[in-house]
Amino acid sequence: MKTTIMKLLKQSSKPVITNRSLLIVAILFLFAIPTKAQTAVGGGLGYNEKISGPGVTLKGVFNITDNIAISPSASYFFGSQIYGYQRNLLAGDLNAHYYFNIIESKLNVYPVVGANFSSYKTGNSYYDIYYDYETEKITDNAFGANIGAGATWNFSEKLKVYLEPKYVVSDFSQVVINAGVLLNL
């Protein structure tokens, strides 16, 4: 009897659902869902108060519903020079937006909540143990959270502008203001 149960267990240990079949079902499910997705891409200019410099931003907005969107972006800020080193920052963001329609089909405002990754370079000065003045280059990375607000103004069905001030909470906390143009695809 024990050998019969062991044979049954060995035969049933084969996985019914494999990773490949699960992936195929997930892809079919995604294509079967009717979506009203709207995608916008664009870019703009920004300012980062931590490194006191302007920057450029590339941004995408992927609407999940009429009011909810996911917005990835990448920014590069050119900072001022400090202690002989050029300060700069490269940031990647993934934010969620919930749109509040203020003026019918023209003005939308939204909270900015999301994640941030910043890679920055700066300089530092100090006196060593012999009281010699030294400078050094500092490069570091920080993960953080974005908190802010934004607004879009629709000029037409295809073109809109945005303004997005936010505070990045991290080991390298910073205030960032971005403004730019988005093109609906």
Q: What is the pLDDT of residues 53-88, one digit of tens each?
A: 899 999 999 999 989 999 999 999 987 776 667 788
pTM equals 0.71
Q: pLDDT > 70: what percent of the chain?
A: 72
Q: What pLDDT, on the 0 to 100 scale, is given for residue 91?
A: 93
Residue 31 lies in a domain: no
CA distance 153 to 143: 30
- Asked, for residue 136, whether it belongs to a domain, the answer is yes
Going by pLDDT thresholds of 50, 70 and 90, the confidence category of residue 140 is confident
Q: How many CB atoms lie within 10 A of CB 4?
A: 8
Task: Work out how many domains the chain is built from and give that number.
Answer: 1
User: What's the average model confidence in pLDDT over 167-172?
Assistant: 91
Domain harbouring 77, CATH code? 2.40.160.20
Cα 144 to Cα 73: distance, rounded to the nearest angstrom: 14
pLDDT in tens, 15-65: 444 555 555 655 655 454 444 558 999 999 999 988 888 999 999 999 999
Let me know if residue 118 belongs to a domain. yes
Does residue 11 fall inside a structural domain?
Answer: no
Is the pLDDT reported for residue 171 higher than 90? no
Q: Is 24 inside any structural domain?
A: no
Residue 8 lies in a domain: no
Please tell me the predicted confidence (pLDDT) of residue 20: 59
Number of other residues whose CB lies within 10 A of the CB of residue 135 = 12
Range of the domain at 62: 36-184
Closest by CA to 62, choosing from 50, 73, 48, 78, is 73
